[in-house]
Amino acid sequence: MNKYLDMFLKHIKINRGYSSYTLDNYEADINEFNLYLEKSNLDFKKIDYHQIKPYLMHLHDLKYKRTTISRKLSSLRSFYKYLSKEGIVADNPFILVSLPKKEKKLPSFLYYNELDDLFEVPNMDEPLGQRNRLILELLYATGIRVSELVNIKLSDIDSFNKVITITGKGNKMREVLYGEYCKEYMDIYLNDGRIRLLKNKKSDHLIINNRGDAITTRSIRYILNNIIKETALKKHITPHTLRHTFATHLIDSGADLLTVQELLGHESLSTTQIYTHITNERLRNVYLKSHPRARDE
């Protein structure tokens, strides 16, 4: 199967423009299934729907969440669709498998005071601290994905208008805005920290590591985890939490859904609608001001 998996990964990288993080997930999901087939003495070219059902039970036994199982099945469905089109298998057995319904879970976001706790951690006297502060500022100011952040080039930045051209999912281009706070920390980093990190090397990437090379999405997650350890925050926070926070704060302040959809790079408005939840403080304030029996007389 390995030869066909490599062919498939190259195919979706070229034709769909997936990030390395997404490709890694595809590879892991398909390899996990291949390992299961080998242990069960099954040929990946000859499996049918009835042989897939025990694998579903296997995934449930491993206590995977419904969203994870859904992703794994989606990966396998895409893989076998490719194999079928290439004539490697007769048909796609996963076409008959229903994906588990996703759990309806509101995205986690940060309050303003929690953001302040994060932003205060990086040491602005150090080049890595300047870079890490800019990472936080950019993720919150623009709502971009980590995969988009690591691919920002200096040539993508219009510092006069405070606009960044982003290459998103499927290589789709969009422009995002950033404000004065973010510009301040970007200028500090570009004029000091980044120069010190480059160490006479050349790179067009905005965010670089301590060797002057382009940073990875995994490194961003590692950096954020270390920053969180320096705070008193107890929430499970990922880089995507800052994207959720960006959208939540915009909508909470009156931004319309279509604008937020465009800034986030969502194809469907329904994806953006999940951010119409509002903070507990605002909900409480609206209730106290509006309900006749909630107000103090």
pLDDT in tens, 79-131: 999 999 899 988 898 888 877 766 556 677 888 888 888 999 999 999 999 99
Amino acid 183: pLDDT: 95
What is the CATH T-level fold of the domain 2-96, as seen in this structure? Answer: DNA polymerase; domain 1 (1.10.150)
Q: In the chain, count of helices (H) and strands (E)?
A: 14, 3
Amino acid 197: pLDDT: 96
What is the radius of gyration, based on Cα positions, of the chain?
Answer: 23
Backbone angles phi, psi at 179, to 5 degrees: -100, -170
Distance of CA 155 to the CA centre of its chain: 23
Q: Which residues are catalytic?
A: 145, 169, 240, 243, 266, 275
> 216 vs 251, which has greater pLDDT?
216
Q: Where are the domains of the chain?
A: 2-96, 112-283
Residue closest to 149 by CA, chosen among 11, 21, 12, 13: 21
295: left (phi over 0), alpha (psi -120 to 50) or beta: beta
Burial class (CB in 10 A: 0-12, 13-18, 19+), 269: exposed
Amino acid 161: pLDDT: 94
Amino acid of residue 127: P
Amino acid 20: pLDDT: 80
Amino acid 279: pLDDT: 47
Residues 6+ apart with CB under 8 A from 4: 83, 86, 88
What is the CATH T-level fold of the domain 112-283, as seen in this structure? Answer: hpI Integrase; Chain A (1.10.443)
Residue 273 pLDDT > 70, yes or no? no
Q: What confidence category does residue 14 fall into, taking pLDDT thresholds of 50, 70 and 90?
A: confident
Residue 139 token pair: 């993720």
Q: How far is CA 40 from CA 53, 62, 98, 162, 221, in A?
A: 13, 17, 23, 56, 36
% of the chain exceeding 70 in pLDDT: 89
Amino acid 70: pLDDT: 85
Residues 6+ apart with CB under 8 A from 281: 111
Please give the Cα distance from 116 to 237 (Å, whole number). 14
Residue 281 token pair: 């403080």
> 225 vs 103, which has greater pLDDT?
225
Please give the Cα distance from 120 to 101 (Å, whole number). 40
Buried b (16+ CB within 10 A) or exposed e, 180-215: eebeebbebbbeebbeebeeeeebebbbbbeebebb
Mean pLDDT computed over 141-160: 93
Amino acid of residue 125: D
Mean pLDDT computed over 12-16: 82
Residue 280 pLDDT > 70, yes or no? no
Residue 219 pLDDT > 90, yes or no? yes
